[in-house]
Amino acid sequence: MREHRDRGETLIEIILTVVITTITVTALVSSLATAGTAGQAQRSSVTADGVMRNYAEAVKAAGRTCTSGGVYAVRFTPPAGFTVSSVPLTLRCPPPASPLVLTLAVEGPSSFDQTMQIVVRTP
Amino acid sequence: MNDSDQVRGRDNGAALILAIGFVLLIGAITAGLASLVTSGIYNRINLEQVRDRQYAAEGAIELAIASARSVLDSASGCTVDTDASTSTQLNDNDIRVDWTNACRVVRSADGLVLIQRNLVFTACVDLARRCAEADTIVRAQVNFQQGSTGAVTKTYIQSWSVTG
C-alpha cells in the first residue's frame, strides 16, 4: 500500500524538478546571452571613446600648427566601421582672439554614438 | 516497516531539495552576471563623464588664454594686474579658470633685460570660489610673446598638466 503511494510522489517530484530545472536553465542561458550582448555593446562604446579621444587629439594637434588666417589639416583615419565629423565643418584657423568651439561626433557600428566639444585656438 | 521502507522514506523530497539548490546556484550566477553588466555600464558612463570634464577644462583654458591675450595686448612691464577668472560651459560642465600672473624679469647671457610674460591657468569645476588644489583638473603655464608694438604675437604652452 505504501509502495503504491510512493510511486506517485516520485513522479510528481520528478516532473516538478524537471520544470524548475528547465526554468532556471532558461534563465541562465538568457542572462548569459544578455551579458554577452552587453559586453559587445560595452566594447563598441569603449572603442568609440578611444576613437573620440584620438580624433580630438588629432584636431587639437592640427590646431596648434595654425597661423592667423591660415588653414589646418587634420590627419586622422578612423578604424573600420567608424566615421568622424565636426561641427562647424571648417579647417580655417580661427582669429587668435576668437577660439573655435568644435563639436566632434563619432559614429560607430553600434548605436553608442558619441559627441564632445573641444576648443581650437590659434597660438 | 523494514529497512527498505525506511530508506525510501528518507529519500522522499530529495529531488526537490536538489532542484531548489540548483535554483539557488543559478540565481547566484545570474545575479553575479547582472552585477557585472551593471558595473560595466556604470564604469563606462563614469569614464565618459571624466573625459568630457577633462576636455571641457582644456577648452576652457584655451578660451581663457585668448581672453588673457587681449588683456596683455596693450600691457607693458610685469606690473599689470592679470589675475582674473572666467567661467565657461562645455560638454555640459561649468568650468572655472583662474589666471595668475607669473611674469618674470630675467637677464639674458648678453646682458639684456627680458620680460617673461607668463600666466598660470588653473581649471576646475565651477563651485563659485577659487580653484582649490584638490579640485584642479588642468593647470597650464603659458608664455605670451610680444612684438615691438606691444601686441602679443604668439603664445607658448610651457607646461600643461592634467591632474583630475
A20 with B15: Cβ contact below 8 A: no
User: Would the pTM count as exceeding 0.95?
Assistant: no
Report if residue B3 sits inside a domain: no
CB of A98 less than 8 A from some CB of B: yes
- Report how many domains make up chain B: 1
Report if residue B117 sits inside a domain: yes
Report if residue B4 sits inside a domain: no
- Asked whether B143 and B118 are in contact (CB, 8 A), the reply is yes
Task: Give the count of Cβ contacts less than 8 A between chain A and B.
Answer: 102
Q: Which of B23, B51, B156 sits opposite A24 (nearest CB)?
A: B23
Asked whether residue A6 carries a pLDDT value surpassing 80, the answer given is no
Which H/E stretch holds residue A87?
Answer: strand A83-87
> B111-158 pLDDT, tens per residue?
888 888 899 999 999 998 999 999 999 999 999 988 877 788 899 999
Cell of B102: 607669473
Report if residue B110 sits inside a domain: yes
CB of B143 less than 8 A from some CB of A: no
CB of B28 less than 8 A from some CB of A: no
User: Scanning every residue of chain A, which has its alpha carbon at the shortest distance from the alpha carbon of B11?
Assistant: A10
Report if residue B79 sits inside a domain: yes
- Paired strand residues for A122: none
Quote the domain boundaries for residue B51. 11-162
- Give chain B positions within 8 Å (CB) of A123: 154-157
Report if residue B32 sits inside a domain: yes
CB of A29 less than 8 A from some CB of B: no
In whole angstroms, what is the distance from residue B113 CA to residue B141 CA? 21
> B37-82 pLDDT, tens per residue?
888 888 888 989 999 999 999 999 999 999 988 888 877 777 666 6
In whole angstroms, what is the distance from residue A57 CA to residue A63 CA? 10
- Asked whether B68 and B86 are in contact (CB, 8 A), the reply is no
Angle between helices A2-64 and B3-11 (to 10 degrees): 30
> B25-46 pLDDT, tens per residue?
888 988 888 898 888 888 888 9
In whole angstroms, what is the distance from residue A68 CA to residue A92 CA? 9
ipTM value of the model? 0.79
A49 with B47: Cβ contact below 8 A: yes
Asked whether residue B4 carries a pLDDT value surpassing 60, the answer given is no
Q: Which of B5, B36, B37 sits opposite A2 (nearest CB)?
A: B5
Best A1, A5, A11, A20 residue to mutate vs chain B (most B CBs within 10 Å): A20
Report if residue B6 sits inside a domain: no
Report if residue B90 sits inside a domain: yes
Position A73: which residue type?
A
> What pLDDT, on the 0 to 100 scale, is given for residue B20?
84
